[in-house]
């Protein structure tokens, strides 16, 4: 789920009912919806005119004003877990998924204007979430791994791996940057913890135990 900057609407992908919902936060009413086969995630562009949703096998783009389908891409991806737009290049969509043929985990990078795959980053294990630093210089990916639990930091300009941060076991990881970019938060569902990562040297400076298995985070800044 993603919430707009005015905190007026939330956009939620419902995998069970095959629907992308637009929900008015003041009363919780779904004011619009689009049929999507197996949506698992969604993201807004910076201008908040488009909403992107990932599903099994591709992504779809809708206009927020009318709900009309702008474009969609049927790719070789499967089991899409997360997506993010480069804050400095809104045509670059980063998709955490796997190759349907080889089952190899990747971050796929698409040009959404041309609907073309421009690059891909092979991961050591299946990824679960992706988030860009506020200035767009780096992005973080967490793994989908009950045994280890890692966050990888990549440089956006060349997709080079800069850091691997051990966090906690998670069968559903969530990443969020603080708006000032000084800290990165990793939700570790299986471990039942929240890792606070200092971005000056990418070390875990605090581990917060959460009473129940966490599966999301919201930063009120």
Which tens digits make up the pLDDT trace of 39-60?
Answer: 778 889 989 898 888 876 677 8
Q: What per-residue confidence (pLDDT) applies to 216?
A: 66
For residue 17, is it left (φ>0), alpha (ψ between -120 and 50) or beta? Answer: alpha
Question: Which residues in the chain show pLDDT less than 70?
Answer: 17, 56-57, 73-78, 145-147, 169-173, 213-221
Paired residues of 174 in beta bridges: 187
The CATH number of 131-221, from 2.40.10, 2.60.40, 3.90.70, 3.30.70, is 2.40.10
Any idea which residue has 């290049």 for tokens? 89
| Cα–Cα distance for residue pair 45/61, rounded to 1 Å | 10
Q: What is the DSSP letter of 199?
A: T
Reported as a single tens digit per residue, the pLDDT across 116-155 is 889 999 998 888 899 999 999 999 999 876 567 889 999 9
Half-sphere exposure of 16 (CA within 13 A, CB side): 0
pTM of the predicted model as reported, rounded to 2 decimal places:
0.86
Task: Return the closest-CA partner of residue 144 out of 120, 124, 165.
Answer: 124
d(CA 197, CA 179): 14
- Residue 56 has a pLDDT of 67
Asked whether 200 and 183 are in contact (CB, 8 A), the reply is no
Task: Let me know if 59 is exposed, middle or buried by CB neighbors in 10 A (0-12, 13-18, 19+).
Answer: buried
Q: How far apart are the first and last CA of the chain?
A: 18
d(CA 177, CA 19): 28
What CATH number does the domain located at 1-122 have?
Answer: 2.130.10.10
Give the domain ranges of the chain.
1-122, 131-221
């Amino acid at each position: 789920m993603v919430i707009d900057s005015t905190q007026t609407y939330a956009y939620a992908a419902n995998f069970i009912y095959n629907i992308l919902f637009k929900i008015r936060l003041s009363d919780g009413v779904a004011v619009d919806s689009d049929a999507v086969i197996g949506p698992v995630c969604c993201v807004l562009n910076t201008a908040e005119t488009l909403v992107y949703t990932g599903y099994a096998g591709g992504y779809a783009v809708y206009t927020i004003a009318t709900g009309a389908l702008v474009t969609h891409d049927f790719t070789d991806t499967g089991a899409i877990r997360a997506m993010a737009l480069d804050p400095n290049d809104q045509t670059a969509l980063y998709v955490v998924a796997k190759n349907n043929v080889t089952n190899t985990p990747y971050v796929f990078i698409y040009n959404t204007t041309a609907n073309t795959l421009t690059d891909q980053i092979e991961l050591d294990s299946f990824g679960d979430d992706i988030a860009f630093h506020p200035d767009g210089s780096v992005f973080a990916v967490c793994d989908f791994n009950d045994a280890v639990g890692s966050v990888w930091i990549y440089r956006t300009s060349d997709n080079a791996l800069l850091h691997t941060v051990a966090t906690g076991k998670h069968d559903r990881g969530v990443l969020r940057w603080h708006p000032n970019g000084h800290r990165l938060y990793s939700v570790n569902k299986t471990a039942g913890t929240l890792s606070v990562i200092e971005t000056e040297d990418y070390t875990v400076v605090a581990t917060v135990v959460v009473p129940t298995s966490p599966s999301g985070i919201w930063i009120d800044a």
